[in-house]
Amino acid sequence: MEDIVMTGISKTYGDKTVFRDFSAVFPAGEVCSIMGPSGCGKTTLLRMILGLEEPDGGTIRGVPERKAAVFQEDRLCPGISAVENAVLVVGRGREKEARDLLTELGLGDSLELPCAELSGGMRRRAALCRALLAEGELLVLDEPFKGLDAGSRRTAAALTLSHRRGRTLLYVTHETAEAELLGGKVCRIP
């Protein structure tokens, strides 16, 4: 596993410059929070690391092939349950693991409901469960606890750390309290 190294990154949308000569290192196997005001480019940064967005200039090295993500939006299939959404990604045969983790996350009463019928905070945890169970060397979480109350946040943070399995973890948050729950180095985008 390698450090993820971004060097001299530039990214512009139309006449809006989001990154100009931006560099950062995310050490392999460590936890790092990405913080900064709304619109500063946190999601764009993660999307460039995931290969979903191409920088206009600069290089990104060390991104492993296999990675899991919670995107800023949940991206769940609405017609199927949280268990089925997880299994769709992590593979058949892992239903029990998904049910157990969702139960720990507080969704024990709603395991069979289609995701369209879950609350926003429940959908967030369904997306988190899917990413935590996935294989790979990198875990990327964009505001993973959005919509969760303080108690659920603490539980979700503890489960995120216990299911990290040594993977590099990059997460976006607006909250210092949340950054304290997950810990790690802080990367601030101005």
Minimal distance, residue 123 CB to ligand ATP, in Å: 17
Minimal distance, residue 172 CB to Mg ion, in Å: 6
- The span of 7-15, 38-46, 126-134, 153-161 binding Mg ion (CB under 5 A) equals 38-46
For residues 84 and 80, give the distance between their C-alpha atoms in angstroms, rounded to a whole number: 6
For Mg ion, which is the closer residue by CB, 84 or 142?
142
| CB within 8 Å of 181: residues ≥ 6 apart | 153, 154, 157, 158
Q: How many CB atoms lie within 10 A of CB 73?
A: 12
**Strands, E assignment, the chain:** 4-13, 16-26, 31-35, 57-61, 67-70, 138-142, 168-172, 185-188
For ligand ATP, which is the closer residue by CB, 16 or 96?
16
For ligand ATP, which is the closer residue by CB, 33 or 43?
43
| CB within 8 Å of 160: residues ≥ 6 apart | 128, 132, 141, 144, 169, 182
- Binding flag, residue 173, Mg ion (CB under 5 A): no
- Binding flag, residue 43, Mg ion (CB under 5 A): yes
Minimal distance, residue 15 CB to ligand ATP, in Å: 10
Residues in touch with ligand ATP (CB under 6 A): 13, 16, 18, 36, 38-44, 72
- The span of 2-10, 70-78, 124-132, 161-169 binding Mg ion (CB under 5 A) equals 70-78
Q: By 3-state DSSP, what share of the chain in percent is helix, strand and coil, each rounded to 5?
A: 35, 25, 40
Indicate the residue type of 129: C
13 binds, among Mg ion, ligand ATP, none (CB under 5 to 8 A by kind): ligand ATP
